[in-house]
Structure formats: C-alpha cells, structure tokens
Structure 1
C-alpha cells in the first residue's frame, strides 16, 4: 500500500507546474478560447443544420470538423481548471485518460477531414474533369462514420493504462503503449502536413499558370487552398516540434532544460486549441454559400450590406468564357473549388 502511494506521489510530482504565472496565463487563454469557441461553434452548427443543410451541399466533411471542434471545446474548462489547481493533469487518472482520449480524437478527426478537403481540392484543380476516389467518398455520408471508427484504434491506447502526466515516454517505466502513443501523435501531424503541403504547392502552381479569369478571383481561389495549410501550420505543427524537443531533453536527462521545454510544449498545445476558432474561416473559404448563410443569420443588416458590396466589387464575374475549336465553353472559377 505504501509503495503504491509513493509511486502515485512520484508521478504527480512530475505533473506539478513549475511556474505558476505561466500556467495562470495559459488558464486564462484557455478560458477565453472556451468563451469564444462555444458560441461560435454553436452558431456554426445551427447554420450547417438549419440554414445551410450540409447534407444537400456535399459538405459532410466540413460538418464533421464542426463535431470534432465540439469535442475540443468540451475539454477546455477541465484543462483550465487543472492549471488553476497547479497541475498539468487532473489528479484523477480517469479524468486524465478521458481528457487525452478526447484531445487525440479531436486532433485525429480534424486532421483527417482537413486532409480529405485538401485532396479533394487538389484533384478538382490539378486533375479537373477526372473521376477520383475523393469525389466518390465525399458523396457518401457513411464514409465519415468509417473515418471516425478508424480513429478509435489509434486513440484507445490512451485509455489502456495509467500513465504519468498522460505522457510518460522518456521515464524509466515507459513501455510499448507509451511508444505507440508517441508514434500516433507525430504521425497524425507530420504525414498529413506533408500531404497538405504537396497539395497546396501543386494547386497554387496550377492556378498561377491559368491565363483566363480575373486576378482577384484567382487570388480568392488560392486563399481557399492555402487556408487549410496555414491553419495546420499554426495550430498543429508547432506543438509537434515542441513535443519532439521535450522528448529529446527528457531522454538526455537535462532536467533544467526539461522544465523550460515542458512549459513551451504546454503553451504551444494551448495554441493548438485555437483551431476551434479558426476552422469557421476555412468553412467560409471552402463554401461561399456557407458564408452568405452565416452573414444573413448573424451579421447586422448594415454591415452585411457593406460586406456584400465589397465582395461584389472584387468578384463581379462568376464564370469566364473561352473559345476552343469554335465552341464557347463556360469555366466556373470558384464553384469547382467548393466542397
């Protein structure tokens, strides 16, 4: 009994915060993210279901990102409360495991659907007119359920056993579960980032080579494809780099450096929670109809008119017409890029 209590105390010691001021600030940031994210995502959910009717607009993947964001928003108050208690994790193992499970599931779902959106846009721009597997998948709502089910085997290991601060890799007692969890963490970020970066570069290159259409509309199209890459780079990539640095100094047993690395990692992890605030921007870039529905529902009338007037001034042409072999062909510049 005494040995078990000693082991628990040893585990919780590593979970104590080393700088109260830093974690008070992080707790305040998380509280702000929750206060902004909850009404924002509720309003987005309302638009998707009652105004935009996502199932009719082939936006099932976007709706699933909304669901993933709700998983994240639900975790934020508990994370902020732990920081206020002076702990990097909840003292209760079940709460710690549940939190990490939700965070892993949210991250995996967000990344999976963002990658799917990027691939769909890649095929629609670079391989326009060719039938592709992503186009087939997005027309089937059941595929979204399959993606969620495939994420479970990658997330369940967070629930298998008790682990120090919910990430014990690098300690003397780490095992295959900890190793697998770290592999999943990095693979969920590094591999999708490479795919998204490749798709973005190819799409931007393709759009720059086009000689038809307005420059303003081409710039808008490039914003559509770059938005996902920017969000990914800001929210997910920094915490992966910080996590790698933390594991490196822990394995090297540089204790003073580890104290700093832990704070940097936790701060960048909090930054990654901002994706629940930035995702609605992606929805607006991906589908102009969603933006119009959102503005009609929540934007004041006078401001809505000004925004519509500015948007009309920069995009006065919906299609561009070119002549090929005596035929007139209408080429939509934006509609092809909507998901």
Structure 2
C-alpha cells in the first residue's frame, strides 16, 4: 500500500520557495552560461566540469515552474503523465549529476594540490569533455528508470487530486527501498565521502609542507571548504529524512496497520518533500563555486555587476618548495 499524504503544508511552504529558486536560478545561471560560452577563453579541463554543472542546474530550472504549479494547486498535477515523468527525471538527474560533478571538481583540485606532477593534471579539454560526457551518460542511465515507473497516482484522500511523485512511501517492506531510493542515497553518500577525503588530504598535505599561510593556499582551502558546505547544505537534509522515513517505516510495519503507518509518517513525509525542495538551492549556490574557482570568471562577474576589480597582491611569506610552487600554479 502507498501512503497518500495531505498536501496542505506543502502548498503553503513550497510555491514561494520554488519561485525564489526559479527567479534567482534563471538570473544567476543565465549569467554563468553567458560567461562560459561567450567570454571565458581559453577553457581548461576544470572549466568543462564547471560548465557541465551549470548546464545541469539550468535544465533543472526548466522543470521547477511545473513543480511550483503542482504545489500551488494543492499537490495536484495537471500536465499529464509524459510531462510528469519528464520533470521527475530532470530533478532526479540534476541531483545525481550535481553531486557527481561536485565530486569530480573536488578530485580535480585534490590532484592539482597533492599530486601536481600527475599526468591527469595536463588533461586536454577534449579528454575532459569525454569524461564529462561519460558522467552524463552514467547519470542518465541511473535515473532513466523514472520513465518506466508509474509516477502519476490518483489520491485516495482527495478525489480531485493527482500526485506526481517518485518517492511515495510504501507500507510493504519488500518495496519500501527500491532502486530509485537507493540511487538517491548512493549518489549522495559516495560523493560526500570522496569530497571529505579530498578536503582532509589537501589540508594535511599543505600543513605538512607549512604552506597554510600562503595567499593562494588559503584560497584553495577556502574553495574546498566552500564545496563541502554547499554539498552538505543542499543535499544532506533530504537524504537524512529519506533514511529516517525508511527506518521508521520498517519499525512500524508489522505492529501497525497500513493506514496507521501512513498516519505516523505524515509529518516526516512532508518534511522530506520540503527538504528535497531545498536541494534545488544548488542551482542558485553552484555559481559561487565558479566565482571562486576561476579568476577570469570572477573578474567578468565583477565587471558585469559594476563592482571594483580586485587588486593582485603577492604573498609576503617564504618561497615554497618547487613542488609546492607547481601546485600553486595549477590552482
């Protein structure tokens, strides 16, 4: 049995949140893509990863107006099954591709700092494009199952409502954790572990070489911390609530009827849908990564926004070793 939730809270909270994400996302990502496509030359291998992340965010924003309308009309989908599946696919793909590209960006920075002489650091733009294409293909393959699932579901609580959801709670323990939920969790926890690994080893490497006070090193550390904070802020709440729903459902099944299980999970389920909408904030926050990752991107942004250009200052500390100098040149 599937749990059909009451959408009153979602109808109040999510439409204004999604509208803000849509407006800011269009403005900020439109500016980012404009800079990437027309003003940022020449590209580097790391630029390909950042551009792919910007494209994923822009595609997500195209689906959010339909989602905002869905919640605005009391959790009632009015656009048909094909568009329902397409929007759910776009949102699922964005979550997975964003986490994987953020992981790839962290690995790229890790290799440049900790292993500056590795051949991967001299990867051409063409090869980086092939890597990005591979990530897109794998992510699409992981989330394509959305099109094969029945996501348009008439509500048993409200006769006039039709749900468009890919995360319905099941009271059957054998179907409560399906591939879609597993992929949702896997595409978060694996990148999280990799990003934390890269960050910890970068900090350890730089402290071991006594470079922590160097200006460029501070920027590198700040960038990695930024990636970690952005990743956790956007993706952790929804994953924690998904795990909580799964655990609580398994605890309740067997001792309670299906309707009692659904009633007990009502509040937690609403919290999950609110937290998953916070996930889409990555489309607004990801450009901060581009801003602090590419100096040319920052300069163009400041010029477009009529902000004063930053003065280039040199570090006054001791000269780092040769390998460290090479690391800094790659940042």
**Common fold: TM-score over 0.5:** yes
**CA 1:43–1:219 in structure 2 vs 1: closer, same or farther (change >3 Å)?**
same
- In the alignment, what sits opposite 1:93? 81
Structure-1 separation of matches of 2:131 and 2:317: 32
Residue 270 of structure 1: how far off its partner (Å)? 1.4
**CA 1:24–1:330 in structure 2 vs 1: closer, same or farther (change >3 Å)?**
closer
Structure-2 separation of matches of 1:194 and 1:201: 11
Which of 304, 307, 319 is the equivalent residue of 2:308?
Answer: 304
**CA 1:292–1:114 in structure 2 vs 1: closer, same or farther (change >3 Å)?**
same
Over the aligned positions, Cα root-mean-square deviation in angstroms equals 2.9
Which TM-score applies when normalising by structure 2? 0.83
Residue 211 of structure 1: how far off its partner (Å)? 2.5
* Deviation per residue, 1:272-321 (Å, 9 max, x gap): 1110111111112221121112212x121xx324xx14xx4xx4339974
Residues 11, 75 of structure 2: 8 Å contact kept: no
Q: Report which stretch shifted further, 212-221 or 276-285.
A: 212-221
1:112-131 equivalent positions in 2, closer than 5 A = 112-131=100-119
Residues 105, 151 of structure 1: 8 Å contact kept: yes
- In the alignment, what sits opposite 1:136? 123
Structure-1 separation of matches of 2:52 and 2:234: 18
Is 1:257 the counterpart of 2:257? The answer is no
Residue 196 of structure 1: how far off its partner (Å)? 0.8
Which of 310, 321, 331 is the equivalent residue of 2:325?
Answer: 331
Q: Report which stretch shifted further, 82-91 or 199-208.
A: 82-91
1:5-154 equivalent positions in 2, closer than 5 A = 14-17=4-7, 19-20=8-9, 22-53=10-41, 55=43, 58-87=46-75, 92-132=80-120, 136=123, 139-140=126-127, 141-154=129-142
- In the alignment, what sits opposite 1:228? 227
**CA 1:194–1:113 in structure 2 vs 1: closer, same or farther (change >3 Å)?**
same
**CA 1:55–1:243 in structure 2 vs 1: closer, same or farther (change >3 Å)?**
same
- In the alignment, what sits opposite 1:170? 170
Residue 186 of structure 1: how far off its partner (Å)? 0.8
SS of equivalent residue, structure 2 residue 123: helix
Q: Report which stretch shifted further, 123-132 or 226-235.
A: 123-132
Residue 99 of structure 1: how far off its partner (Å)? 1.6
Residues 95, 279 of structure 2: 8 Å contact kept: no
SS of equivalent residue, structure 2 residue 325: strand
Structure-1 separation of matches of 2:29 and 2:320: 41
Structure-2 separation of matches of 1:109 and 1:54: 24
Structure-2 separation of matches of 1:274 and 1:76: 11
Q: Report which stretch shifted further, 258-267 or 143-152.
A: 143-152
1:161-200 equivalent positions in 2, closer than 5 A = 161-163=149-151, 164=153, 165-172=165-172, 179-200=178-199
* Deviation per residue, 1:227-275 (Å, 9 max, x gap): 2111111111211011111223334253343111111111111111110
Q: Report which stretch shifted further, 256-265 or 276-285.
A: 256-265
Structure-2 separation of matches of 1:322 and 1:16: 61
Residues 318, 332 of structure 1: 8 Å contact kept: no
- In the alignment, what sits opposite 2:302? 295
SS of equivalent residue, structure 1 residue 34: helix
Aligned residues: 310
Which structure is higher in RCO with an 8 Å CA cutoff and minimum separation 6? 2
SS of equivalent residue, structure 2 residue 41: coil
Residues 239, 268 of structure 1: 8 Å contact kept: yes
